[in-house]
Every structure is written in structure tokens, then in C-alpha cells.
Amino acid sequence: MININISDSATKLNSLNRRMFILATAKIIILGGIVSRLFFLQVKENKKYLTLSDKNRIREWKLPPIRGEFQDYFGNTIAGNFEAYQLHIIPEEVEDFRYVIYRVKELLELSDKQFKKIVKKKNEIKPWETLIVADNLSWEKFSKINNHLYDLNGVKPVISISRDYPYKENFTHVLGYVSQANENDLLTNENIKEKFVPGLKVGKTGLEKSFEQKLIGSNSVERYEVNAYGRRISQLAFQKGDKGETIKLTIDTKIQELTNELLKEKAGSICVMDIYTGAIIAMHSSPSFDPNSFVFGISQDEWQLIRNNPMKPLVNKSLSGNYSPGSTIKPIVALSALENEIIKPDFTVQCRGHKNPLELYGQTYHCWKKEGHGFVNLREAMKQSCDTYFYEVARRLGVDRLSVTAKKFGLGQKVFKDVFDNEKNGLVPNTEWKKNALGRNWVLGETIITGIGQGFIQTTPIQLCLMTAQIANGGYKIYPKIVANDDNQYADKFTPLYKKSRNIKIVQDAMFSSTNEVRGTSYRSRLDDPKYRFAGKTGTSQVKKITERDRELDLKTFQIPYEERDHALYVAFGPYKSPRYALSIIIEHGGSGGTVAAPLAKKLFKMIIDRHEIRKNYDNKKYLDI
Amino acid sequence: MYQYRRFNNKNGFFQKFGNLDYILLSCLLILGFVSLATMYSTDGGEVLFHTRSHFIKFVVFFSMMLVISFINIKFWFSLGYLSYAVILGMLIWTINFGITASGSKRWIDLYFLNIQPSELMKIFIILCLAKYFHRMKAQHVNSFYSLCFSLIIIFVPMSLVIIQPDLGTSLLIAISGIVVLWFAGLNHKYFFYSCLLSIISLPIIISFLKPYQKLRVLTFLNPDRDPLGAGYQIIQSKIAVGSGGFTGKGFLKGTQSYLEFLPEKHTDFIFTLFSEEFGFIGSVLLLLIYSIIIYRVIRIGALSRSYFAKLFCYSFGTSIFIYVVINMSMVLGLLPIVGSPLPIMSYGGSSMLATMIGFGIVMSAKTHSQQSIA
């Protein structure tokens, strides 16, 4: 019995030890497996997991980039940045949010509507995200908040950078304005999408929009360590972004301000151009509005006021206003006729006034002057703006030859190519155009009225300015520019647009007579000092066909309803001795060019020519503060 | 001869003291220290609740282990069935009156502490089965009767734990039991066939799993199928371990845990945090400490005179090994996520208590290595 027992326990022990040995071997293998797994994860794949771990814990916050500035020719900032006083709250840092927000409401005198909006916004964000309570506080309210900070735990007064237009409505149509980026901006512009942060402001119109890529700058980046719930734990790095480029324009703020003043209470446009460089000295469309209103979002009332204004402040009339040029086309008609050798300067026509209109193929064509101009040659006809003369010239010239010259001088096509997205083409008609566009044949009567700038022909004020500039510089092609360091080199710059330079001289002389000789249409607006003397051509473009009844009534401008009054136009260049600047003026529904538009040119030229010295000196790097 | 044995059997206090396994003891102390340091790190470098509580538990249970070391192994042999029955009773109690936390009833309230009977069962099932097979004759081990009886001993607590529900612990209980069966000399073919059977029936078992358990299996197979949901734990765990690198990020510098990307960092995923901060070197050293502990436990078994002590030590050592391996494999993405703590390292009183009782019995086997049990 005992023996059996011993052998039995020996068997059991043997089996136990054998199995222990088997298991020990297995354990060593398994341990090897675990160690190799550790090796694989921690040594071989370490880089991959280190990256993943950093991705987990490091998060970047983009800050809004600082927008580049616009400067005028003399380096004055015309669109800059200012420090906006804002009020931020991080809800989780506030002990008693209800108390604080009511206290803020009280201090800032918020309306219930604004207050509800803020509370709604608070409920949409995470408690550690910033709630912007006010984005542009006045200094009084900002300091009031600062004085009560002891009572407002968690409220942060913040100074942030925002857009500022110091000259208010002066540059609105040139620069455009900025406002909060919307979905459309993100979809159409990759750059905006890439740099987007809530509250980012982007250009909506004008140069602000065209030069978005250069202006936007690059985001500053804050790198934070965050925990699993996205809360910031500590700041790891701050990478400063670059400010957007500063863009220098060719515009002279003083002259721009004068144009704004001259067009006050009127609808219209003034463009001033350097006739050699093509630099835009001033370009204004009236009425204008204050672009600062848009930076923080415009109020509904203000927006409706701008939108519903019958004078259309939102339209940049200099570039997108299509007007019949009226008599301002006459220099081109005359030039075209001379160039094509249709007439000689001594070609004479008898004008018998609109009592005895010109009759052609059953239609009658009236001159503006009741009594008529008698026998007039080219110079005389330009001087007194005789319509009858130009009817006859146009009839002989034909619209196709006229359109060639007109297009050559810049009419009927965009002046700034793609710099402004709202620029219009205008229209210089010819027989082919009518056939294609309207499907009807050109009739001679249309040629005749085209000769005095009526009918199909449409031009923008900037086109008229360019046309005048190219006549003034002796007939050479120029490319207008508004950005000072625009280095685009055009191969055909300064190529002659004439066949005989004498013809240009004749037209220039005729324009001179129109302003500086007795019976000239803008004689009353002349400047006698040879230093300032300028030459120009008036224009009065009809908005509505003049009936026989109108002619009999012969009403004064103010007696006619506003919408039916003529547009007043004037194009000019000066100083006459050695021309340097050209301008175009248009006053919508202003009346006659000679009485409404031309007097503005008188004031403008005085300043333009005075400031020419300053501009020249500035070119020679002599600093001058204006 | 008889006198010598008598003299030996006296086992005076100082002799017992001298017979303690000091290598095992120091390894346990080192492990305790490491676990405290890691707990300190999970608390974000401050002595907070977890660190303090873990420290108290370690000190109390380590002292308890020392006390157990001086109790004769015979006492533990005699307690085998009774303790099993008591724990079984506690498991039944848990089902009816347990404390519910995060969807399962695992704890019972003992007024001064909450205890998790399922953790204790991991040890006492070994004790119970060791006693059962100690008495058995070799030729009876593979008899139908003993097989059935031992399987019942395993299945009853296992099913009681499953319905808590706590799949992880119930599996560990089963594994502890099966380990004893293996050492007791159960025929290899049973293990082979049951393995085969479970592989074949795997699809059926999966269909019986709860949806969240199925999700765990699917997530294990492909953690990227739901990186922010079910796969989150394992992905973050692997990132933490992997980013640790060869030398680790440094003590208290584990970003994954410090920034709360790691789930369950106090308990089941404590190794992840350790590994992130101490790297490959630290992890291998930790494994080495565990290996030494397990080796010492098995060596004590080998030197023990009684079959019971041998069986207990071998099974306990192997169980500890399996717990460690399962926990590490889980956090390293080698096994699906099942709730299984890392012995001593993980926060949790019951687990620590059970482990320390186990080591206490092993130590008692050492101090009473010459004790034979009838």
C-alpha cells in the first residue's frame, strides 16, 4: 500500500514537472513574442507613432492675416489698418455667465435684439472658444468696460486689427471695400479658402477685390498643445505671418478730394489722366458712400438707403457708366475724316439752325443752335460744336471708317483690361456689328447721328479720358494704369495712332479754340494764364429724343424732370502749351456740357497743374508732405 | 532522522523569517514602487486620489502577504474548499446585491471597502483545484468523474462572472482553472480536442456575444474601422506605446496620458503609460521583473515537498504569467480588448488583494517547504 502510494505520487510529480518544463518553454516563446512586438512598435515604427502622437496633441490656430495697405502716389495711406476695440468672453472662464452678460448688456447699452444674437452665438460655440461680444466699440464704451473689469470676471477687452478708410467716400469706387468673407468668396478664391479664419475680411469690389492675392498676407499661426477634448493646455510656438503687400496707386489724394467736392450732390464722374504715362491722377464716381460702414457689416437701414438712392451710389460710373458721348466724340469724327482724307480743314458747310434742319432721305437733323452757325469750316464747327457740320462729315465718312478710328483711340473696349471686374466695354457700332447683334442692316441716319455721338455709340468716362489723352499727347498709344509700380511693358506703347501728325494738330487746335476763343462752347470756363490754359470739347448727350414740342417749348434745364435732363460732358487736356493731363467729366442729367461740366474743369486744371510741380519733385525723390 | 524532522518541523519564527524568498520579496517591492511611480504619473505628477489609494493598498496587502507567509501551508490546504465556497457565495451575493457601475454588477459593499469577488476567485479556484488534485491518485485524474467535477468547479464561478457581465475576468478564472488541470496531468488530448472544438465553434460563440463584444472583436481585427469610437482605445494605446520609442518620453512626460488621450490609464492600460514614458528599455525591464517573480514562484514550487504546494505554485506562477501576457498583448494590439488588469501595476484593490494572497501562499510554501501534507 505504501509502495503504491509512493510510486503514485512519484508518477504525479513526474507528470507535473514534465508539464512545467513544456509550459516554461512556451512561456519563453510568448515572452519573446511580446518583446518583439514592443520592439516593432517602439523602435521600428517609432517615427510613425511619434508623428501620430504629435498630431494628437498639437493643434494650430490661424489668426487673421494683416491686410496690405493702399497708398496714394505720395505715400499717404488711403486704405490702412486701425485698432478696433473688441470685447471677447470665454464662457468657461466666467463664473456666473448670466450675471456678466447682463452687466455687459447694461454697460454697452445693447438692444434686446443684439443681446439675443450674442446669447444665441454663445450657445453655438464650445465653452472654451472665444465669444465676440462686440467687434468695434467706441473708445468711450471700451474705457467704460475697462473701468468695470473688476466686476466682469472673464471678460477680455481686446484690440484687434481692422480695415480703415481714412478718406471715407473719396476712394470708394477705386478701392472698393472689405467685408466678412462669405461662402462665395471661399468657393471662388483658393487663397481665401486657405487663409480663412472666422471674421476674415476680404475685398468685395474694386481694387480690394482685384488685388486680393497680394493684399491678404499670410496668417500668423499659434501652435498649442491640446488635450483629448481639444482644450488648449499650453502654447508651443507662435509663427508670425506676413502682412499683405502695400499697393501704391498713381492717384493724387488732393485732386481726388477735389473731384469729390466738385461732384457733391451730383451724379457723375471725373477722370484725370497723365497723357504720357497713362497714370490715373483721379477717378471718382458720385455719389459715393463710406466704405467703413461695410467693414463690420452694414446695418439694414443704411444699406437700403444706399441701394435705393436714385443716383445709384453703388455703380462706379467712371468704369461702368455707359453714356452716349455726345459732342465729345466730334474730335474723333473730325480726326477720322481728316485721316481718311474725306475732308480738308477748310471744308465748309452751311448751318441754318434747327429752324431749317438738314433733310436727308426724309429724316430731319437738327443743329442745337436755333439760328444756326452759317458757313462753318472744321475749326469753327468744333469751336461752336456745330451739329450740321458733323452730320455732313459723318455722312461722307461712313460709320465703319469712324469706328476704326474710335477704337484705335480706346473707345469701345475696356481701358483697364481685367483690373476692375465691373468695367464695361462701351460700344462703338459699325455696320457689321449691327448685322450680327441686331440682325438688321445699318441705315444712313444712324451714321449721321453717330457723328454727334448719339445713337448706338456708348462710351465710359474713362474711355473718353483715354481718347482725349491720346489726342493730347500727339496721337500716341498709352496704357492707363492705376497702380504706381505696374511694370507691364506693352510693346505697342507710344506707337503712333495717326497717319499724319498734322491732323492731330488740327484737332488739338480746334479743341483749343472751343475753350479759349470767343463763341467757343466752353469759352466761359477758360483760364487765361498761359500756364494753366487748357483745351477741351463740351458734350451734351440726350437721354430722350427731342420732339418738335420740346423744341418749341425750349425749356430751361431745371424745368425738365430730372430723369429726362441731358447728361453734361466735358473732355479736356492741358496745359495747352505742353500738354500733360487729360480729363473727362460727366454730370448725369446735368444739362449742357458747356454750362455744367466745363466750369468744373477750370477748377480742376488749376489744381492739377499746380500739383504737377509737386508730383515731379516727388518723382525726383524729394519728400513732400501734403 | 525522526528527531531531525521534528526539529525541522518546529519551524520557529526566526527560521521562517530566514526562509523567506528575499529575491521574490524585493522584486515585489520594486514592482510596487514602479506601480506607485506610474500611478503618480497618471495623476498628472501629483499625489492625488489614485496614488494615495494605491499606496495604502499596496502597503496593507504587502503586509498581509508577509503575515500569510508565516501561516502554515497546511492551513491553506485545509481552507481550499471552504474559501472557494465563500467566494462563490459572494459571487451569488454580487448578482443580487452588487453595486452597479458602468453597466455591470461587479462589486459588493463591505462598508469599509468595495470588493470584487471575481478577482479573488482567480486565486481561490487555483487553491480549490490544487486541493482537489492533491488527494487524487494518478490513474483517477483522467477519470470521467474527476473531469466532470473539476469542470463544474470551473464553470460555476465562470458563468456567475459572465452574467455580471464581465467576460475578461471570467475568461481569466477559466484559464486559471484550466492551468491547474493541465498541471494535474489531464490528458493532452482533452486540451487538443477542446481547442479544436472552440475554434470550430468560434463563429457560433461570436453570434452569441453582446453587440459591444462583437464590436471589440471586429475592432481588434481592424482598429481603423471606427477610429473615434470602438477603435479609439487601441489606436491611442498603440500611439502611446509606439511614440515612447527606445528610451521613452521621460517620467511624467507622456503626452498621450497627460493630455487624456489614453483611456483607462489607471487600470487596464497602465502598461501603455509606463511604456510611453520609459520606452522599450523600461518595458523590457518591467517584463524582466515579472519574469523573475514568476521564476521565483515556480522555483519555490519545485523546491516544495508537498504536491499541493507544487501544484499551487506552478499554477499561480503560470496564471500570473498569463495575466501579464494577456494584458500586454491587449494594449499592444495583439488581442481584442478584454478587461484584464496587469497584476500589482493596475489600480484596483481586489486584484491587488487576490494577487497578494496568492504570493502570500507561495511564500508560505517557501517557509514551509519541508511540510508534507497528508
Residues B347/B50, Cβ–Cβ less than 8 Å: yes
Q: Which residues contact B270 (CB under 8 A, 6 or more apart)?
A: B35, B38, B39, B42, B342, B345, B346, B347
**Does the pLDDT at position A3 exceed 70?**
no
Sequence-ordered strand ranges (E) for A331-467: 349-351, 358-360, 363-365, 374-376
**How many angstroms away from the CA of B276 is the closest CA of chain A?**
9
Is the pLDDT score of A139 beyond 50? yes
Locate the domains of chain A by residue range.
2-44, 61-248, 253-303+313-619
Quote the percentage of chain B above a pLDDT of 90: 52
Q: Which CATH superfamily is domain A61-248 in?
A: Penicillin-binding protein 2a (Domain 2) (3.90.1310.10)
Task: Say if strands A567-574 and A535-541 run parallel, antiparallel, or are unpaired.
Answer: antiparallel
The residue to which cell 469751336 is assigned: A383
Q: Is the pLDDT of residue A436 over 70?
A: yes
**Residue pLDDT, tens place only, A219-233:** 888 888 888 877 778
Q: How far apart are CA A108 and CA A110, in angstroms?
A: 5
pLDDT digits (tens, 9 = 90+) for A583-617: 999 999 988 888 999 999 999 999 999 999 888 88
CA distance A499 to A502: 9
> Model's pTM, two decimal places?
0.70
Q: Average pLDDT over chain B, rounded to whole?
A: 88
Dihedral of alpha carbons A331, A332, A338, A339, sign:
positive
State yes or no: pLDDT of B1 exceeds 60.
no
Using CA coordinates, name the residue in chain A closest to B260: A228
DSSP labels for A165-188?
Answer: -TTGGGGHHHH--EEE--HHHHHH
Q: Which helix (H) or strand (E) covers residue A132, if one does?
A: strand A131-137
Q: In whole angstroms, what is the distance from residue A74 CA to residue A96 CA? A: 53
Q: For residue A621, what is its C-alpha cell?
A: 525723390
* Global ipTM: 0.91
Residue A16: list chain B partners with CB under 8 A.
183-185, 307, 310-311, 314
Asked if the Cβ–Cβ distance from B328 to A11 is below 8 Å, we say no
Q: Cα(A229)–Cα(B263) distance, rounded to whole angstroms?
A: 12
- Measured between CA atoms, how close is A321 to chain B, in angstroms? 58
Is the CA virtual torsion B28, B32, B35, B37 positive or negative? negative
At A551 the pLDDT is 77
Average pLDDT over residues A565-594: 92
Pick the residue of B195, B239, B322 with the most A CBs within 10 A to test the interface with A by mutation. Answer: B239
CATH topology for the A253-303+313-619 domain: Beta-lactamase (3.40.710)
Query: Mean pLDDT over residues A34-46, rounded?
Result: 93
Cell 506601480: give the residue: B35
Q: Which residue of B has its CA nearest to A228?
A: B261
Q: Name the CA dihedral angle for A613, A614, A616, A621, rounded to a multiple of 10 degrees.
A: 150
Find chain A residues with C-beta within 8 A of B138's C-beta.
Answer: 8, 11-12, 15
Instruction: Write the DSSP string, A369-405.
Output: SSS--EEE-HHHHHHHT-HHHHHHHHHHH-HHHHHHH
More confident residue, A111 or A434: A434
Q: How confident is the model at residue B2 (pLDDT cuts 50, 70, 90)?
A: very low
Determine, for residues A15 and B294 on separate chains, whether the beta-carbon distance falls below 8 Å: no
Predicted local distance difference test score (pLDDT) of residue A262? 94
Alpha helices in A474-565 (DSSP H): 501-516, 548-553
Task: Name the B residues in 83-102 with CB < 8 Å from any A CB.
Answer: none
Collect all residues with Cβ–Cβ distance below 8 Å to A368 and sequence separation of at least 6.
Answer: A354, A385, A387, A540
Q: Cα separation of A482 and A419, whole Å?
A: 9
Q: Note whether A53 contacts B284, CB cutoff 8 Å.
A: no
User: What is the C-alpha to C-alpha distance for residues A364 and A142, in angstroms, rounded to an integer?
Assistant: 71
pLDDT value of residue B253: 87
- Which of A34-38, A254-258, A499-503, A551-555 is least confident? A551-555
In angstroms, the CA B268 to CA B1 distance is 52
Total CB pairs under 8 A between chain A and B: 120
In terms of CA atoms, which chain A residue is nearest residue B320?
A27
Of residues A446 and B110, more confidently modeled: A446
A37 and B137 within 8 Å at the Cβ level: the answer is no
C-beta atoms of A56 and B185 within 8 A: no
Cβ burial of A588 (10 Å; 0-12, 13-18, 19+) is buried
What cell does A426 get? 462701351
**Pairwise CA distance, residues A163 & A294, whole Å:** 10
Pick from A20, A41, A53: which is nearest to B332 by CB?
Answer: A41
- Contacts for A487 with CB less than 8 Å, ≥ 6 apart: none
Neighbours of A383 (CB within 10 A): 27
> Which of the two residues, A353 and A218, has the higher pLDDT score?
A218
What value does the mean pLDDT take over residues B166-189?
89
Q: How far is CA B17 from the centre of its chain?
A: 26
